């Protein structure tokens, strides 16, 4: 039994190690069980349902084209400019933006109403594009699938020693879950994308300040999958000072955002 369990464990570890892909943002290898083509399939399959659950698309073609134009501008300077991206404004009143695998990005009416400039919008879309580029959702699904296999292995391993061996592997995988580090990487990559696309970096900081002000209860960072908003503001400002001290000429776009979004949402 022990020898058989050890062989199964070894095969499992080798399989996990072989099922990796390089995250183009971090440059690190991550567990990835899905090919890139499956990202597109997942996005195509679930995007209509997500859109429906978020109240449906805002029925204003001009507004949708405006959102998509900013998003495509961000996507073209990302690490995966050749992918097909879809940027969709939805009716939901929550303050939120969501990225699905395969390049589907949704931003809610509630979020759009809280923003005031094109640069702020570019910061939000840059963050979500970063999640798509890093394939964070597919990486998370990969880890979930591995956990399912581990649970099956626990059932198979009927001895206490065998169960403990598998449990140790489970703890390793759990340590790799979708984390605050992933979110920080998306924040910083999104910052880089928006600046490359010609937008003033203050936009993402202003957005974080808005989100901080919207929090009725500020969660303790240790218990949250997102970094505490105050900490996000700190490291974004540090990155701006280190990399983008000369931002003259970069776009803020307050008037453009007013015409392209806010005026239309008031109609």
Confidence label for 262 from pLDDT (cuts 50, 70 and 90)? very high
Q: Give me the pLDDT at residue 180, please.
A: 72
From the list 62, 71, 141, the residue with the least C-alpha distance to 107 is: 71
Q: Give me the pLDDT at residue 144, please.
A: 56
Q: What SS3 string covers the chain?
A: CHHHHHHHHHHHHHHHHHCEEECCCCCCEEECCCCHHHHHHHHHHHHHHHHHHCCCECCCHHHHHHHHHHHHHHHCCCCCCCCCCEEEEECCCCCCEEEECCCEEEEEHHHHHHCCCHHHHHHHHHHHHHHHHHCHHHHHHHHHHHHHHHHHHHHHCCCHHHHHHHHHHHHHHHCCCCCHHHHHHHHHHHHHHHHHCCECCHHHHHHHHHHHHHCCCCCCHHHCCCCCHHHHHHHHHHHHHHHCCCCCCCECCHHHHHHHHHHHHHC
Choose between 157 and 59: higher pLDDT: 59
The answer on pLDDT for 92 being more than 90 is yes
The answer on pLDDT for 166 being more than 60 is no
Q: What is the rounded distance in angstroms from the CA atom of residue 74 to the CA atom of residue 196?
A: 8
The answer on pLDDT for 125 being more than 70 is yes
Q: Give me the pLDDT at residue 216, please.
A: 57
State mean pLDDT over 71-100: 95
The answer on pLDDT for 240 being more than 70 is yes
Confidence label for 141 from pLDDT (cuts 50, 70 and 90)? low
Return the percentage of the chain with pLDDT > 70, whole number. 67
From the list 232, 128, 218, the residue with the least C-alpha distance to 180 is: 232
Using an 8 Å Cβ cutoff, are 194 and 37 in contact?
Answer: no
Q: Mean pLDDT across the chain, nearest whole number? A: 79
Q: Give me the pLDDT at residue 150, please.
A: 46
Total residue count of the chain as it appears in this document: 267
Q: What is the pLDDT of residues 175-233, one digit of tens each?
A: 344 467 778 899 999 999 999 999 999 999 999 999 998 875 555 444 455 678 889 99
Q: What is the pLDDT of residues 9-66, one digit of tens each?
A: 444 444 444 456 666 676 666 655 566 777 888 889 889 999 999 999 999 999 999 9
Q: What is the pLDDT of residues 55-72, one digit of tens each?
A: 999 999 999 999 999 999
Q: Give me the pLDDT at residue 85, please.
A: 97
172-189: b (≥16 Cβ within 10 Å) or e: ebeeeebebebbbbbbbb
Q: Give me the pLDDT at residue 3, please.
A: 45
- 102-111, 153-162, 168-177, 211-220: which range is least confident on average? 168-177
This prediction has a pTM of 0.78
Q: Give me the pLDDT at residue 248, please.
A: 85
The answer on pLDDT for 118 being more than 60 is yes
The answer on pLDDT for 162 being more than 80 is no
């Amino acid at each position: 039994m022990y020898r058989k369990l050890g062989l199964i464990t070894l095969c499992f570890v080798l399989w996990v190690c072989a099922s990796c892909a390089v995250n183009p943002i971090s440059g690190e290898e991550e567990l990835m069980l899905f090919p890139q083509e499956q990202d597109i399939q997942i996005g195509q399959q679930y995007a209509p349902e997500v859109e429906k659950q978020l109240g449906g698309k805002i029925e204003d073609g001009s507004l949708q084209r405006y959102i998509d134009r900013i998003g495509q501008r961000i996507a073209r300077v990302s690490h995966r400019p050749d992918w097909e991206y879809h940027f969709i404004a939805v009716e939901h009143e929550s303050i939120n933006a969501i990225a699905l695998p395969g390049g589907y990005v949704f931003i809610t009416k509630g979020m759009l109403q809280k923003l005031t400039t094109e640069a702020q919008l570019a910061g939000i879309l840059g963050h979500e594009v970063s999640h798509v580029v890093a394939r964070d959702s597919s990486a998370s699904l990969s880890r979930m699938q591995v956990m399912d296999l581990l649970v099956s292995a626990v059932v198979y391993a009927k001895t206490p020693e065998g169960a403990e061996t598998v449990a140790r592997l489970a703890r390793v995988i759990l340590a790799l879950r979708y984390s605050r580090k992933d979110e920080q990487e998306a924040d910083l990559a999104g910052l880089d994308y928006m600046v490359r696309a010609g937008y003033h970096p203050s936009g993402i900081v202003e957005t974080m300040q808005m989100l901080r002000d919207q929090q009725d209860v500020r969660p303790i960072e240790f218990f949250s999958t997102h970094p505490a908003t105050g900490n996000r503001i700190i490291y974004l400002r540090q990155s701006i000072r280190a990399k983008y001290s000369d931002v003259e000429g970069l776009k803020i776009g307050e008037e453009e955002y007013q015409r392209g979004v806010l005026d239309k949402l008031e109609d």
